[in-house]
Amino acid sequence: MSTALLAILCVALIAIIVVQIGKVNELSAKIRGEEEVQEQNNNRQGLYMIVFMIVFLVGCVWTALYYKNYMLGFGPHDAASKHGKALDFMFAVTLLVTGIVFFITQILLFYFAWKYRARRGRIATYIPHDNKLEMIWTAIPAVVMTFLVIGGLDAWNEVMADIDPAEDFTEIEATGYQFAWHLRYPGPDGQLGARDYTMISGSNPLGQDWTDVKNADDLHPGEIVLPKGKKVRVRITARDVLHNFYLPHFRVKMDAVPGMPTYFVFTPEMTTEEYRQKLRDYKEYQLPDPNDPEKMLWETFNYELACAELCGSGHFSMRRVVRIVEEAEYKAWLAQQQSYYLTSIRGTADDPNKDVLFDFEIKQRKQEFNDAVDKALQSTSAADKTLKFNYVNFEEGSAKLTALSKYELDNMVDALNKYTNLAIEISGHTDNTGDADSNQTLSQQRAQAVHDYLTGKGISAGRLSATGYGQTRPVDTNDTEEGAPKTAAPNSK
């Protein structure tokens, strides 16, 4: 407040001085003659021009140096991606070229104002038109601009180039909505599954088509984690209004438009940790973090994803942390992520594939089963020797096997064919709802159904026995609707 008052007083004072000088000039002009005073005045004004030029240009250089750490590509604001460095370089070249022009024109402007000030006996030259001059000051800027524009186009084409499918790259997807980013990573298959906006629902935020097997392993992580040094292609889209996918440290910025998928390809070149170590050298980052005073600002630094399109009242909350890590750490992180489909959709009412098994599930279940068989054969404990048919089910209140049960039963057939001296007891169980006697009968029928399936596949009946235990020995909490998991207890002969 007091500074502002002081500034106002200074301005007022200067104004008064100028007015007073004017009055003195008027008075002395009357005494010494108008012309002489006018000439002195012109000389003084010319000198002021030169003084102003020096102060102004020195001020320009000083502020540019003083604030250089606030500019992209300088100081702590280094680009963390390959193309980001190219873009920063272009900015620097443009700044240099326009800077040179700026200094030349400013110096000439003030120098001429001084040199050609009015003097006694000097008459101004009148030049109505000069073709040569017109040519020169059109041609030089045109040539310089051409180089800058071509350089810019070249950089643009390089930055916007799509990926060659033969290249090794990671593809992720970011969907903006009010007010967050929903991220999607391809699972082990490396491919993102199909989407359709009409399929968007509470349980299907991205409208993924669950009948597309590529969707089965897709991940929905809460943060962006990417490996250093590998090309990333980001598919960018929006669910409601315009958003903008902005990674300032990587010089990535692209609109997210509903109904019009866009993309951006970039290669992160510094891990978060490396960037922090670099920031450590700058005193503006050697201050305690206001949110975590135990740590310095450079220690708590994170790359971020922001929305760069004012998309509504919660716009600010679209920030997400971006972590760049070494390849090994990335793989470990990826291995921890779980498929959205398998954890949230598979087997629920929203699953259109309830009656089908995916190839990878068949393989995975076979592996699980074979491991259990191997364990049973090696172990002496009764618990290990009891194999549970996790995926054999019956229709409700009946001994009719469901269609999907055959996969696990076929695994059993394979195991029996492989270990020819293996014999098993098939035990049938039910839950304890309903009448004990009928449960007993049902469990016996169900054990028999499994027995019949196996003999139907060529296993000799002599190696199998089937017993119903009713509800007397519940195998586990019956979480299947059919209510009757079966156990098969292999006995080595």
Under the binding rule (CB under 5 A), the answer on residue 239 touching Cu ion is: no
Nearest approach in angstroms of CB 176 to Cu ion is 5
- Number of residues binding to Cu ion, judged by CB under 5 A: 4
Q: What is the dihedral angle through the alpha carbons of 57, 63, 68, 70, rounded to the nearest 10 degrees? A: -140
Span from 11-19, 208-216, 236-244, 433-441 in contact with Cu ion (CB under 5 A): 236-244
Report the nearest approach of Cu ion to the CB of residue 317 (Å): 9
Closest CB 254 distance from Cu ion, rounded Å = 13
For Cu ion, give the closer residue by CB, 318 or 475: 318
Q: Would residue 321 be called left, alpha or beta, if left means φ above 0 and alpha means ψ between -120 and 50 degrees?
A: beta
Window contacting Cu ion (CB under 5 A); options: 12-20, 240-248, 327-335, 382-390: 240-248
CB nearer to Cu ion: pick between 87 and 318: 318
Task: Report, in Å, the least distance between residue 297 CB and Cu ion.
Answer: 26
Name the one range near Cu ion by CB under 5 A: 52-60, 126-134, 198-206, 242-250.
242-250
> Between 243 and 272, how does the x/- string for binding to Cu ion read (CB under 5 A)?
x-----------------------------
Given the complex with Cu ion, which of 244 and 487 has the nearer CB atom? 244
Shortest approach of Cu ion to residue 235 CB, angstroms?
Answer: 16
Contact by Cβ (8 Å): 81, 268? yes
- CA atoms of 233 and 267, how far apart (whole Å): 9
C-beta of residue 450 within 8 angstroms of C-beta of residue 472: no
- Give 278 or 319: the residue with its C-beta nearer to Cu ion: 319
For the range 220-223, what are the long-range contacts, defined as Cβ-Cβ under 8 Å and sequence gap of 24 or more? Answer: 220/182, 220/183, 220/184, 220/185, 220/340, 221/183, 221/185, 221/337, 222/183, 223/183, 223/320, 223/321, 223/322, 223/323
Cα 455 vs. chain centroid, distance in angstroms? 55
- Give residues 324-383 in contact with Cu ion (rule: CB under 5 A): none
Minimum distance, C-beta of residue 195 to Cu ion, in the bound complex (Å): 19
In whole angstroms, the minimum distance from the beta carbon of 314 to Cu ion comes to 8
> CB-wise, 307 or 392, nearer to Cu ion?
307
Contact pattern from residue 458 through residue 487 relative to Cu ion, giving x for each residue in contact according to CB under 5 A and a dash for the rest:
------------------------------
Instruction: Name which of residues 301 to 330 contact Cu ion (CB under 5 A).
Output: 307, 311, 318
d(CA 464, CA 347) in angstroms, rounded, equals 32
Q: 229-266 burial by CB neighbour count: b if 16+ within 10 A, else e? A: eebbbbbbbbbeeebbbbbbbbbbebbbbbeeeebbbb
Nearer to Cu ion, 291 or 313 (CB): 313
Residues 52-91 binding Cu ion (CB under 5 A) are: none
Q: In this complex, which beta carbon is closest to Cu ion, that of residue 67 or of residue 197? A: 197
CB of 177 to Cu ion, least distance (A): 8
Question: Residue 308 CB, nearest distance to Cu ion (Å)?
Answer: 8
Residues lying near Cu ion in the complex (CB under 5 A) = 243, 307, 311, 318
